[in-house]
Amino acid sequence: MNHNTSVFLFLVGLSLGLTTYCYSQKSDVFLPHTAFHPGQLWPDSEGNHINAHGGGIIFHNGTYYWFGEHKGENSNAAWVGVTCYSSSDLYNWKSEGVGLQVVDNELSPIVRGCIIERPKVIYNPKTEIFVMYFHLERKGEGYSRAEVGLAQSNSVTGPYQFIRSFRPNAGFWPHNMSIGQRQSDITTQDFEKWWTTEWRQAVNDGLFVRRDFEGGQMSRDMTLFVDDDGKAYHIYASEENLTLHLAELTDDYLSHTGKYIRIEPGGHNEAPAIFKKDGRYFMITSGCTGWEPNAARLLVAHNIWGPWVLHPNPCVGDNAHLTFFSQSTFILPVQGLSNAYIFMADQWRPKNPIDGRYVWLPIEFHNGLPLIKWYEKWTIKQVFE
Ligand code: DGJ
């Protein structure tokens, strides 16, 4: 072998080696996912950990679209907006960019630096418009405003146009609040201290509903639900996070009709997620402990207007009392399968929010009630088919 041949062979060998090395590095990242790995990093199709926290999913024309909060490294504020990802198999997600963008106009409620949480998107077939609701807090005002934000788009991935933000159901009484409760003259001024027995009783009897009657009810953690008949509902943590409200939306999904109920008065529920199976409605919520996890709760109703009956924590096994270190955000019906629902939850990392993890677990049933257990790794085929 002459000198030129051996140099040539050396270069071929080197390039083959490098190719193999690069391929294996790449394939670690880009190899398609074939299973869910709850609580692990979840790279999108470009290798970046999915950034769609507190999210929800809409299925449209054969594709799932996941909308969620874009989070940065140091703060929970919205510096970018609501992100969107698409998938056909639920394991592999492609970034579709920012669906709703924050703006640089200080006068806008969605100015960069506001707080946008728990966005959910539904489609209205009558108007052919995609409607997004989310929890909005104004820049620099902490969590005091407790408003719902509303945006719309002609296209599923956006861009979504911000319409307005408000507190829902101003001037309307909840259907399940009695005349006595509506007319009571007990006010928040009557209580120097919170959390006393008398104060709790007053809360249960609608103390905060009366306080907020004119200006609209507080609306923080939220979800949307479209029933089989096309009616849509907004479910939100209201009354200082003490009571959930379930409110009907107008036919165009762009306003509240004023018909709403209170659920679990004084029960301190947030992070509502809902699904319907065999004519029954199931709602999974959490308690209120900030970014710290707590035990999930289960509410069941035969009629969306209640009564909603409280059941024990649907999670079982190790760390069930902390919902596997996560908090509910959405329950996803898997398309093409009957009785296949995925519990979607967030493991928050408040010190580095962008590193927050996703806990997706199958909802199984035991004695007619949802049951959620931990899987280190699972597939739809393995659990549901
Ligand atoms: C828990 C809520 O579920 C989150 O969406 C967020 O609002 C945090 N509390 C803030 O502490």
pLDDT of the chain along its 385 residues, tens only?
Answer: 454 444 444 444 444 333 333 333 334 456 799 999 999 999 999 999 999 999 999 999 999 999 999 999 988 999 999 999 999 999 999 999 999 999 999 999 999 999 999 999 999 999 999 999 999 999 999 999 999 999 999 999 999 999 999 999 999 999 999 999 999 999 999 999 999 999 999 999 999 999 999 999 999 999 999 999 999 999 999 999 999 999 999 999 999 999 999 999 999 999 999 999 999 999 999 999 999 999 999 999 999 999 999 999 999 999 999 999 999 999 999 999 999 999 999 999 999 999 999 999 999 999 999 999 999 999 999 999 8
Q: Domain tally for the chain?
A: 1
Residue-level pLDDT at 14:
42
Q: How far apart are CA 323 and CA 22, in angstroms?
A: 39
Residues with a CB atom less than 6 Å from ligand 1: 54, 117-118, 221, 270-271, 290-291, 327
291 CA from centroid of ligand 1 (Å):
6
| Residue 373 resides in a domain | no
| Residue 130 resides in a domain | yes
| Residue 176 resides in a domain | no
119 CA from centroid of ligand 1 (Å):
13
Nearest-atom index, ligand 1, CA of 115:
7
288 CA from centroid of ligand 1 (Å):
8
350 CA from centroid of ligand 1 (Å):
10
For the purposes of burial, counting CB atoms within 10 Å of the CB of 132, is it exposed (0-12), middle (13-18) or buried (19 or more)? buried
Q: In what order do the strands lie in the sheet with 364-366?
A: 315-316, 369-373, 364-366
Residue-level pLDDT at 13:
41
46 CA from centroid of ligand 1 (Å):
29
| Domain harbouring 86, CATH code | 2.115.10.20
Query: Which range of residues forms the domain containing residue 83?
Result: 35-166
| Residue 186 resides in a domain | no
Q: How far apart are CA 221 and CA 361, in angstroms?
A: 21
Query: What pTM was computed for the model?
Result: 0.92
Q: Specify the residue with its C-alpha closest to ligand 1, atom 7.
A: 221
292 CA from centroid of ligand 1 (Å):
9
Q: Specify the residue with its C-alpha closest to ligand 1, atom 10.
A: 290
| Residue 271 resides in a domain | no
Residue-level pLDDT at 22:
31
- Choice from 285, 327, 329 to test ligand 1 binding pocket (greatest atom count within 8 A of CB): 327
User: 3-state secondary structure string, the chain?
Assistant: CCHHHHHHHHHHHHHHHHHHHHHHHHHHHHCCCCCECCCCCCECCCCCECCCEEEEEEEECCEEEEEEECCCCCCCCECCEEEEEEECCCCCCEEEEEEEECECCCCCCCECCEEEEEEEEEEECCCCEEEEEEEEECCCCCCCCCEEEEEEECCCCCCCEEEEEECCCCCCCCCCCCHHHHHCCCCHHHCCCCCCHHHHHHHHCCHHHHHCCCCCCCCCCEEEEECCCCCEEEEEEECCCCEEEEEEECCCCCCEEEEEEEECCCCCCEEEEEEEECCEEEEEEECCCCCCCCCCEEEEECCCCCCCEEECCCEECCCHHHHHHCEEEEEEECCCCCCCEEEEEEECCCCCHHHCEEEEEECEEECCEEEEECCCCECHHHHHC
| Residue 64 resides in a domain | yes
- Choice from 134, 218, 220, 223 to test ligand 1 binding pocket (greatest atom count within 8 A of CB): 220
- Choice from 291, 344, 347 to test ligand 1 binding pocket (greatest atom count within 8 A of CB): 291
218 CA from centroid of ligand 1 (Å):
14
| Residue 65 resides in a domain | yes
Q: Specify the residue with its C-alpha closest to ligand 1, atom 8.
A: 290
Q: Which amino acid is at 24?
A: S
Residue-level pLDDT at 259:
98
Closest CA to 384 of 366, 362, 367: 362
Q: Specify the residue with its C-alpha closest to ligand 1, atom 9.
A: 290
- Choice from 270, 329, 347 to test ligand 1 binding pocket (greatest atom count within 8 A of CB): 270
- Choice from 117, 148, 241 to test ligand 1 binding pocket (greatest atom count within 8 A of CB): 117
24 CA from centroid of ligand 1 (Å):
39
| Residue 243 resides in a domain | no
